[in-house]
Amino acid sequence: EYPFAELIKFHKSHGGEATIMVTKVDEPSKYGVVVMEEETGKVEKFVEKPKVFVGNKINAGIYLLNPSVLDLIELRPTSIEKEVFPKIAADRNLFAMVLPGFWMDIGQPKDYITGLRLYLDSIRKKSSAKLAVGSNIIGNVLVHETAVIGEGCLIGPGVAIGPGCVVESGVRLSRC
């Protein structure tokens, strides 16, 4: 449900080297904040975990880059967020688009599990036919059509099984 078409249109319209999606948060001091011009979306700078309020928009982790950006990445372990994006912003060629709707940080295992539960809940509300059903399924479970589930398994609640996964017989999966 991400607005990819709008992101592409915005990226082409501003003529910059890169576009990042940002999201508004209630507690920006826990994150790196993106300081940007509201009207144009031009990124001015990044402030890592500010002690004083400088804005409430943070990097949402979705990027659209021109191929030339790859030339800025050195052949060593490089943080695109901390090394490459600040260079592009300093050259006034980095833009940001605000991501509408819900976003959450799933960088920690407990947050990933919470995010998965919320995602599965949203599928249940919008199109429950996408969720798995059966005597071995408990609650909200999403199983890719190429996944194989062995006999005697008990799956759920809160489980997503991806493409090509094989769940051996007798396995119990929950909240993963």
Sorted by sequence, the CB contacts under 8 Å of residue 59 that are 6+ apart come out as 20, 21, 22, 31, 32, 34, 46, 81
What pLDDT is recorded for position 11? 98
What are the 10-residue block averages of pLDDT along the chain, 176 residues in total? Answer: 91 97 90 94 93 92 95 92 94 95 88 94 92 96 97 97 98 96
Edge-to-edge strands of the sheet including 43-48? 43-48, 32-36, 57-65, 18-24, 94-98
Q: How far apart, in whole angstroms, are the C-alpha atoms of residue 55 and residue 61?
A: 17
What pLDDT is recorded for position 58? 94
Tokens of 77: 């372990």
Q: How far apart, in whole angstroms, are the C-alpha atoms of residue 55 and residue 36?
A: 9
Q: How far apart, in whole angstroms, are the C-alpha atoms of residue 28 and residue 34?
A: 10
What pLDDT is recorded for position 27? 87
What pLDDT is recorded for position 125? 94
What pLDDT is recorded for position 101? 84
Sorted by sequence, the CB contacts under 8 Å of residue 106 that are 6+ apart come out as 112, 114, 115
Q: What are the domain boundaries of the chain?
A: 4-98, 109-173
- The per-residue b/e assignment along 116-126, b for 16 or more CB within 10 angstroms, e otherwise, is beebbeebeee
Beta strands 154-155; 172-173: pairing state = parallel
What pLDDT is recorded for position 128? 87
Q: Which CATH number fits domain 4-98: 1.10.287.130, 3.90.550.10, 2.60.40.10, 3.40.50.2020?
A: 3.90.550.10
What pLDDT is recorded for position 105? 86
What pLDDT is recorded for position 46? 93
pTM: 0.75
What pLDDT is recorded for position 133? 95
